[in-house]
Chain A
Amino acid sequence: MTRDGMILGRSGRRRLYNGVFVTVCALATVVALVVLAAILISLFRNGIGAFGFRLFTEDTPPPGGAGGLRNAILGSVTLCAAAMILGIAVGMLAGTWLAEYSREGRYARTVRFINDVLLSAPSILIGLFVYIIAVRPLHGFSAFAGSLALALIAAPIVTRATEDVLRLQPRALREAGVGLGTPHWVIIRRILWRTAAGGIVTGALLAFARISGETAPLLFTALNNQFFSVNLLRPVANLPVTIFNFALSPYEDWQHLAWAGALLIALTVLAINLVVRILATRAKHP
């Protein structure tokens, strides 16, 4: 309430502060959305030009030549596939151990904490670690080392998802299994993993979305390759490092390809995240 339009009363002041607060919040949201929209728009505008059939059928060109990203795309798929196999195997078993076999002692708490440390360790340090244990002893950059680095990023995500979703399974399910005289590992494999499948798949998809765009750990593990290769013991072309190299190059064709590659990765990640959302909604309302 204003008196003489000059001095605000107590309730007027409260309303004024609130009005300012609402405006600031709305403005902040607009600013955040505009910036993020600007990024997506420039990604589309710059990437769509080189985005076409050619991108998937031709290998990376020499500067000035025409070409696509076939070798990098297939290399990335190889790396991620190998990493996911390893990451899911280790992650599911470790998550199962934490939820079912660990007896909540100090060791289990340590493992859980260590898993979180690995989960949020800077990815470039994981690259350094894999360089020391898998690149230096084998005398060379290799797709295997790249997959190992990506697997180390994926595994803790899957571990966490598996443990969380196994803990959500009702005790009655386990008791029903025990009541039939079923061995514990059969209960886990044929009852718990099946009822928890949705959550584990979601975790695995999120892990995949995360590693498909990871660049830093590949810089000195998988390195890069100008040519087509799926040999696990040789350096392999991959999208993120190709994007990195091409974007920093002075050649315009390469920069266009880098944008197209970035668009491809962004679209893949968005698609995976959308699938995860749909899965999650369906789990909530069956």
Chain B
Amino acid sequence: MSEAYVSSPHPLFPHVHVRGQRVERAFRYACSAASLALLGATVGLCVMLVWGGWPSISTFGLGFFTSTVWNPVTDTYGGAGPIVGTLITSAVALALALPLAFCTAVFLVEFCPAILRRPIGIAVELLAGIPSIVYGMWGLFVFAPFFATYIEAPLMSWAPPGTVWERLFSGIPNGSGILTASIILAIMILPYIAATLRELFVSVPVRVREAAYGMGCTPLEVVWSVTLPFVRRSAVGAVMLGLGRALGETMAVTFVIGNSHRLPRGLFDSGATISSVIANEFAEATSPMHMSALLELGFALFLITFVVLALARALLGHGDAA
């Protein structure tokens, strides 16, 4: 669209004739400034995290990413615990949520009785918008006590000593820990992934699916060899976006992870994620080095989510749903 300037009085807008060009230019500058502001904010975000984290980056170097010592008294900081915690909780959450979300999406598109299809679809979409603090509170007050009594304690007493199970199920059975946080995260991203996948499945042309059914395929074969290959790239992209949400999530995790900077030893052990550490400590950080270490952690989180988003975008292609 190129600009169209007026040179004679306009039939509908005579007043624009006088100041038309100046206003036109001002409006275009305003639009361009707004886009520049978004660009500046994102670049600024990245630069400020590095700048604020620089004292920590230059003092601890690469050791920051391997050390688990987090001691505000001696001003020594290492971020391995929260970084590993972030990766583990998100990976476990995705592993739990993805099969459920995939099956729910397939059910809604292929098998669901027509009467239930719309209500369930709407419910899933609405739940995707519930603020994460609600999930966090539910995790703290309802899920954690239930989990401690009915899952953690029995599993720990069942696990035969000396086996991998004992290591996996070690920790304190108080309901908070890595696995609880992962489950809450999984519940939170489940409606989001399910809603996106469902939209993708619906976008497969009906003709293609009907052709497969016409050849005598069972629904399983249609989903597995027609629908899924058709939307494969976009589906992976959508899942990556769900993963990105889990990585950066704060409130759903902070309530239930237990907050400890050690490397988690088992699934029931308490741990920390980058965002939970920042949420807990940033407002109370007193020494400049403490604050700087938290900002460096923030930068690490920014890099992780940036990579995930870039991959998701590359897979989704331009103009697809985010």
By the criterion of a CB under 8 Å from any partner CB, how many residues of chain B are at the interface?
Answer: 101
Query: How far, in whole Å, are A131 and B10 apart by their CA atoms in the complex?
Result: 49
Q: Which of A1-9, A60-68, A119-127, A195-203 contacts B (4 or more CB under 8 A)?
A: A119-127
Q: Which of A31-39, A49-57, A77-85, A226-234 contacts B (4 or more CB under 8 A)?
A: A31-39
Q: How far is the CB of A36 from chain B (nearest CB, A)?
A: 5
Query: How far, in whole Å, are A269 and B126 apart by their CA atoms in the complex?
Result: 9
Quick check: B131 and A124 within 8 Å, CB to CB?
no
Question: CB within 8 A of B138: which of A17, A39, A273?
Answer: A39
State which residues 146-195 of A face B: CB under 8 Å.
152, 155-156, 159-160, 174, 177-178, 180-189
- Which B positions have Cβ atoms within 8 angstroms of A? 1-6, 8, 10-13, 16, 20-21, 23-24, 27-28, 30-35, 37-39, 41-45, 48-49, 51-52, 99-104, 106-108, 110-112, 120, 122-127, 129-138, 140-142, 187, 190-191, 194, 218-221, 223, 241, 244-245, 247-251, 255, 275, 278-279, 282-283, 294-295, 298, 301-302, 305-306, 309, 313, 322
Given known A132-B48, A219-B282, contact A21–B31 (CB-CB < 8 A): no
Contacts A/B (CB < 8 Å), 20 sampled: A28-B104, A46-B141, A93-B35, A101-B31, A118-B41, A124-B275, A133-B44, A156-B38, A180-B10, A181-B10, A185-B24, A213-B134, A244-B133, A247-B141, A262-B134, A266-B130, A266-B134, A269-B129, A270-B129, A273-B125
Given known A36-B191, A265-B134, contact A215–B42 (CB-CB < 8 A): no
Residues of A within 8 A of B309 (CB): 116-117, 120
Residue of B nearest to A217 (CB): B250
Residue of A nearest to B102 (CB): A28
Quick check: A184 and B221 within 8 Å, CB to CB?
no
Question: CB within 8 A of B275: which of A22, A102, A187, A216?
Answer: A216
Quick check: A125 and B248 within 8 Å, CB to CB?
yes
Quick check: A185 and B38 within 8 Å, CB to CB?
no
Quick check: A120 and B305 within 8 Å, CB to CB?
yes
Task: Annotate A5-34 by CB proximity to B: 1 below 8 A, 0 otherwise.
Answer: 000000000110110011011111101110
Quick check: B129 and A183 within 8 Å, CB to CB?
no
